[in-house]
Amino acid sequence: EIVMTQSPATLSVSPGERATLSCRASQSVSTNLAWYQQKPGQAPRLLIYGASTWAPGLPARFSGTGSGTQFTLTISSLQSEDFAVYYCQQYNKGWTFGQGTKVEIK
Amino acid sequence: QVQLQESGPGLVKPSDTLSLTCSVSGGSISTYYWSWIRQPPGKGLEWIGNIYYSGSTKYNPSLESRVTISVDTSKNQFFLNLTSVNTADTAVYYCARAGLWGNWFDPWGQGTLVTVSS
């Protein structure tokens, strides 16, 4: 099984600041990686797939980079609606999720 | 726009079978892969399994001995059966579309909480 490790577990950021979230795979997943946002009481929402392709309607302040085993989700200027938990997910071999990064208000 | 809706009992007794239905509206269940994913309270996401509209399935190895996913294309529904449940199976269960090749999950249903308790 491919293990996905996200860091940090919690990220405290002020509105308007940049947030950088990391996701590491235990073996190469090429660019077969997606990112999701989950707010309390809601289902996860797809943000990015193919490591860097925006889901329809995603604001441009979100961007994804990486390939192989190292991936990054960047939110360039945090808005109030961006405070949530973010999950990465690989679909290169099976389907596994990271444990999540909570982005909270500083 | 495709929408998914989970339904089924919210309470299941230990050792019983958990059975859920995902109803797909706004589009045909044919052509795509469809998935079940769960999330224990306060924890992360766990993929349970996928089914193609033709009926072929793939399951999480950790659950494979207890899981069956099936599909009824005439009703635009797919189903989850999880046998011999225990308290560790208490979770919000989501159904989702896994795309043409079974890759990322979009969209998702709203989720349904299933509690395993006597």
The per-residue b/e assignment along B76-97, b for 16 or more CB within 10 angstroms, e otherwise, is: bbbbbebeebeeebbbbbbbbb
Where does the pLDDT of residue B27 fall: very low under 50, low under 70, confident under 90, or very high at 90 and above?
very high
**A46 in contact with B, Cβ within 8 Å:** yes
Question: What are the chain B neighbours of A97 within 8 Å (beta carbons)?
Answer: 44-47
Q: Tell me the C-alpha distance between B22 and B49, whole Å.
A: 13
Whether residues A44 and B46 touch (CB distance < 8 A) is answered with no
Q: Tell me the C-alpha distance between B56 and B32, whole Å.
A: 11
B101, pLDDT greater than 90? no
Q: What is the pLDDT of residue A62?
A: 96
Q: Tell me the C-alpha distance between B72 and B22, whole Å.
A: 10
Closest CA to A80 of A64, A56, A104: A104
B84, pLDDT greater than 90? yes
Give pLDDT tens digits for A82-93.
999 999 999 999
Give pLDDT tens digits for A25-50.
999 999 999 999 999 999 999 999 99
CB pairs under 8 A between A and B: 52
Looking at CA atoms only, how far is residue A76 from chain B in angstroms? Answer: 24
Question: What are the chain B neighbours of A91 within 8 Å (beta carbons)?
Answer: 102-104
Where does the pLDDT of residue B99 fall: very low under 50, low under 70, confident under 90, or very high at 90 and above?
confident
Q: Tell me the C-alpha distance between B49 and B67, whole Å.
A: 8
Give pLDDT tens digits for A65-76.
999 999 999 999
Query: Which among B61, B104, B109 has the least Cβ separation from residue A89?
Result: B104
Tell me which chain A residue has its CA closest to the CA of residue B97. Answer: A46
B100, pLDDT greater than 90? no
- Rounded to an integer, the average pLDDT of B73-89 is 97
Q: What is the pLDDT of residue A63?
A: 96
Whether residues A34 and B103 touch (CB distance < 8 A) is answered with yes
Query: Which among B45, B46, B104 has the least Cβ separation from residue A49?
Result: B104
What whole-number percentage of chain B has pLDDT above 90? 93
> How far apart are the two ends of chain A, measured CA to CA in Å?
35
B24, pLDDT greater than 90? yes
B93 contacts B75 by C-beta, under 8 angstroms: no
Query: Which among A43, A49, A55 has the least Cβ separation from residue B108?
Result: A43
Whether residues A46 and B35 touch (CB distance < 8 A) is answered with no
Query: Which among B44, B58, B109 has the least Cβ separation from residue A97?
Result: B44
Residue A13 φ/ψ, nearest 5 degrees: -135, 145
Closest CA to A72 of A35, A30, A29: A35
Where does the pLDDT of residue B43 fall: very low under 50, low under 70, confident under 90, or very high at 90 and above?
very high
Q: What is the pLDDT of residue B102?
A: 83
Interface of B with A (CB under 8 A): 35, 44-47, 50, 58, 60-61, 94, 98, 102-111
**C-alpha B28 chain-centroid distance:** 17
**Regarding beta strands B57-59 and B46-52, do their DSSP bridges make them parallel or antiparallel, or are they unpaired?**
antiparallel
